[in-house]
Amino acid sequence: MNFPVPLSGAKSSTLMWAQEHEVGAAALTQLRNIAALPWVHGVRVMPDVHLGKGATVGSVIAMRQAVSPAAVGVDIGCGMEGVLTSLTAADLPDDLSAIRGRIEDAVPVGFKAHESAVSPRKLSLSGDGGGGGGGGGDDWSWKNFWGKFTSLHEGVQDRERKAMLQIGTLGGGNHFIEVCLDEVDRVWLMLHSGSRNIGKELAERHMKIAKAMPHNADLPDRDLAVFLSGTKEMDAYRRDLTWAQEYAARNRAIMLALICQVIRESFPTAGVTFEQPISCHHNYVAEETIDGLDLLVTRKGAIRAGLGDLGLIPGSMGTGSYVVRGLGSAQSFYSASHGAGRRMSRNEAKRRYTVDDLVAQTAGVESRKDAGVLDELPAAYKDIESVIAAQADLVEVVAHLKQVICVKG
């Protein structure tokens, strides 16, 4: 089938890289509610689309002078980081459990945090940490970043110590760290994480404020409440959002540096080197020119795929992932999917499948194989090959990766 297709019944321009009958009634209603917001210029729906909390995952929303916090989500700045190493499959041992153990020792997962704040100076980080880039290793950069904490939303100032200990940690859910092989057996490192608890707390506080504002009283769904440009509430949200997006980028950069350190120490005679990392947010806001207009674009479960933009589109813990390059599709608002996308809820996955199913579906991958990650088994996700095929006009494939190690919280 040729994409995109219009969403039936949408009140503003809404194009989909998915078929309506594959999406689900609740998600379609959510998309129509988004398209009905008076500030919306247009909505673009990615092939990994599925029902989300407040707003649909896999949606790209261009608004005039307005932003809906729910259209960003609670994990502000969540995204991907990946890097090609100089290792090949031949360098890896037959038993990968020791390497997985070292990664788990270096990077706290789930609700765990570092016992003391990680020192960026010791991790060979580079860049300024903004916009999904590097972690910022210089002292001034980090002091300037943390110096902004006291200006964040009232009531989170006592969370600074926790935020410092959580930076450089994975979290749980669908967050992961992987060691992968590409088609020519080169080793890649890849991870998925966001702004941890501080991003969630900031998002939830602003969502509550937005819902109470008078201009949102008659919305089809109050979860889609917006802030309007020129208001102190919008200014406060954009300030906190920008900080949380930077926190997420720095979080991933620190984790990647820690993992690279593990790999160097695991192969001491190999002289391991690393290419320039690929980094991309997929829950964020950006000011962009769309259809000749300066608009605020939110991507919730979508990456930017401007011409030449490199991105990472993961599958699940037992299937492949893709390194892609954007084709610059104006029709998609310069966007592509952020992953395979769930095809069933976590509770449904736990009802329908067993640990034996998880073991079978993750065969050949060194990973957890217990009830704690059952809801993350490959069958709970859409087919990544079909998702990539549906957006052939949005991205070109640079590399196809298959994980050999997967670390989850």
Residue with tokens 């990664």: 103
Q: Which helix (H) or strand (E) holds 293?
A: strand 293-300
Contact 185, 89 (CB under 8 A): yes
- CA–CA distance, 259 with 103 (Å, rounded to integer): 6
Active site annotation includes 338:
yes
Q: How far is CA 68 from CA 58, 85, 207, 283, 379, in A?
A: 15, 39, 8, 12, 32
The amino acid at 356: D
C-alpha angle with apex 383: 281 to 370, nearest 5 degrees?
85
Contact 109, 94 (CB under 8 A): no
330: its two tokens: 């104006």
Provide the sign of the torsion angle of the four alpha carbons 226, 231, 232, 237, taken in this order.
positive
398: its two tokens: 């640079």
Residues 50, 192, 206, 338: which is the catalytic one? 338
92: its two tokens: 């890896």
Catalytic annotation, residues: 338
